[in-house]
Homo-oligomer: A and B are copies of this chain.
Amino acid sequence: MDQSTLALTQFVPRPGIIDLGWGHPDPELLPVKGLREASARVLNRYGSDALAYGSPAGPGPLIEWLCDRLGEIDARSPNPDSVALSAGNSHALDLLTSLLTAPRDVVLVEGPTYHLAVRILRNHGVRVVAVPTDTHGLQVDALAQTVNAFRRRNHTVRLLYTVPTFHNPTGVSLGDARRKQLVEFAEAERIIILEDDAYRELAYDEPAPPSLWSLARRGTVVRIGTFAKSLAPGLRTGFITSDPALTTRICNWGMFASGGGISHFNSLVVAEFGVTGEYARNVDQLRSAYRERRDALLAALRDHLDARATWLSPAGGYFVWLSLLDARDAAALLPLANAEGMSYMPGTKFFVRSQKGSSSLRLAFSRYPPDELAEAIRRLGRALDR
């Protein structure tokens, strides 16, 4: 019997290794007691309605509260008829790839991009093509050239998957001017932007920039968001804000028309946590904890990797993107880093063509307290010494 089959959680710790490879929250920061009480209150308040087949778009109480919350953390609040709930951003991306693409379509992504998003896209037979980024995010001029080049060769190019805010893996946010440029380009060229907005709540220095969804005309941007980063991934609850026509298509999609909302009970638990104010307090605590961790990681990088690497300072999210100097190969360094007792994700994972990103790596500062992050970077420094 395969041991991994009977695991409980996705992350399985390796003894002696501080693993900055996984973009997971610190278990200590998950509000166990609050959610236990919220679950009980949901079943007291809604009774059997919390356990029945749910409304296909998701239960009204979460949609209503979410619209209010997005009004606070984004530039514009959706109408409830433009919202459908999901089982998290991975499920939403899988669903929307089915809905919005056909096999062999070209789907554009950033280079680098979230590596498992590429796997989800490819599951649906599309051709994934990366567009270069810089320290201000996606290069919109390069995007235009890529679209034109593929369209000239009669490829269907209808979708861009992007993480414009606190990017995974780079931590960068797309600049304001580029946001406008990108939205205008997509509107003019009838490209649908699939905006992965997983990290919006985790803004450490100033409010997150306005979502592409909030800036665009109806139908141009589909934004996917999740409670995995701001509350608890095990609840598998997220949301899709688009427009009434797409929301209707989602509700009529067979999976929802048959089984109802895909996260019914858990959505009510999230709503309960929202309306009582516990969600907002939890996000405040997360921002404070992760800000301290980010700062600790950046300080440790200055202390231990100065003159051996450069890195980007993120204003939110989970990740620091690091580039080794002297073209050091990050994948080759990984076994040495593991031997010293730390781990990370090599940069090549995040590029569609794996020869890119070879001297880069992603560090997640979400899962460990400041002292362990500092120790991990000391160990990385020792690995570089070897």
Query: Which A residues contact B (CB, under 8 angstroms)?
Result: 1-2, 4-11, 24-25, 27-28, 30-33, 35-36, 39-40, 43-44, 46-57, 59-61, 63-64, 79-81, 83, 87-91, 93-94, 98, 102-103, 116-117, 119-125, 228, 232-236, 244, 247, 253-266
Contact = CB atoms under 8 A, between A and B. Distances in A.
A257 to B, nearest CB: 6
A96 to B, nearest CB: 12
Q: Please list the 9 inter-chain residue pairs (A to B) with the smallest Cβ-Cβ separation, ordered nearest first.
A: A120-B254, A90-B259, A6-B60, A27-B48, A116-B258, A119-B254, A51-B232, A90-B258, A10-B260
Given A8-B49, A235-B265, A1 B79 contact: yes
Given A254-B90, A266-B266, A234 B51 contact: yes
A103 B103 CA distance: 8
A254 B10 contact: no
Contacts of A56: 10
B61 A8 contact: yes
Given A27-B52, A60-B7, A265 B236 contact: yes
B55 A7 contact: yes
B55 A9 contact: yes
30 contacts: A2-B80, A5-B55, A5-B80, A6-B64, A7-B55, A8-B55, A8-B60, A8-B61, A9-B59, A24-B52, A27-B47, A28-B48, A35-B43, A87-B87, A87-B262, A90-B258, A90-B259, A91-B255, A91-B262, A93-B258, A103-B103, A119-B258, A120-B255, A120-B258, A123-B253, A123-B254, A233-B264, A234-B260, A234-B264, A265-B266
Contacts of A6: 55, 60, 63-64, 80
B44 A10 contact: no
Give the dominant DSSP class at A's interface: helix
A266 B56 CA distance: 18
Contacts of A263: 87, 236
A11 B90 contact: no
Contact of A122 (B39, B89, B247, B254): B254
Contact of A236 (B28, B120, B257, B264): B264
Contacts of A51: 27, 30-32, 35, 232-235
Contact of A116 (B27, B232, B257): B257
Contact of A53 (B5, B91, B102, B233): B233
A384 B37 CA distance: 52
Contacts of A236: 87, 259, 261-265
Contacts of A116: 254, 257-258
Contacts of A253: 123
